[in-house]
Amino acid sequence: MQIFLDTADIGEIRERAAAGLVDGVTTNPSLIAKAGAGIFERIAEICEAVEGPISAEVVATDAEGMIAEGRRLRDIAANVVVKLPLTADGLIACRALSQDGIPTNVTLCFSLNQALLAAKAGASFISPFVGRIEDMGGDGIGLLAAIRDVYDRYGYDTSVLAASLRSPAHVEAAALAGCDAATLPPKIFDQMVRHPLTDSGLEAFLADWRKTGRTGLDG
């Protein structure tokens, strides 16, 4: 499963991409605004930092406007994926951009019906919002599994990109549900690395080594 960072903070992205574990980045207007950057400038910076898919979202709400903005965003770099809302106009824009060979990420998905329509419109990625579904008492992970089953059953090429993940447990569940990718905030990415037993085990090993009076492998 690919791991994407959900942020527009270029410093956070560069720091975590250094280990080669970041496969892509997702952004949205809220994240860009929070970063205090211009959309085109920041997307260009992110595309230079990470070679994989970089989702850049349109702000227009009509199909014609989304298509025009999508083409402008795609001109930034070859790894830009145009992010579109799952609305009737968004699906029209998805179809048009997909037919032009421009990859798309259809976001704000909350149902299997929506995911089915996005796949039929030619979406490259579908982004179901797990955390927000669970906030309303729904089964976000169950939706991921259902989308995976339907896409596989009918041969859709759309990749399932789990979004709105709130914990490392969500990431594990998304992987078990067969998602192609998961996007997560940097703090969740960092939490995936850590485990208290790893920390205590390392401390025990180092404590035993210090008892030998040596400071490194060579003495």
Active-site residues, by number, are 83
- In terms of Cβ atoms closer than 10 Å to its own Cβ (0-12, 13-18, 19+), residue 218 is exposed
End-to-end CA distance of the chain: 42
Contacting residues for 219 by C-beta, under 8 A, at least 6 apart: none
Structure tokens belonging to residue 211: 């008892």
How far is Cα 25 from Cα 173, in angstroms, rounded to an integer? 20
DSSP string, 7-39: ---HHHHHHHHTTT---EEE--HHHHHHHT--H
CA-closest candidate to residue 184, choices 11, 21, 19, 68: 21
- Note whether 69 and 43 are within 8 A (CB): no
Residue of 158, 6, 29, 42 whose CA lies nearest to 85: 29
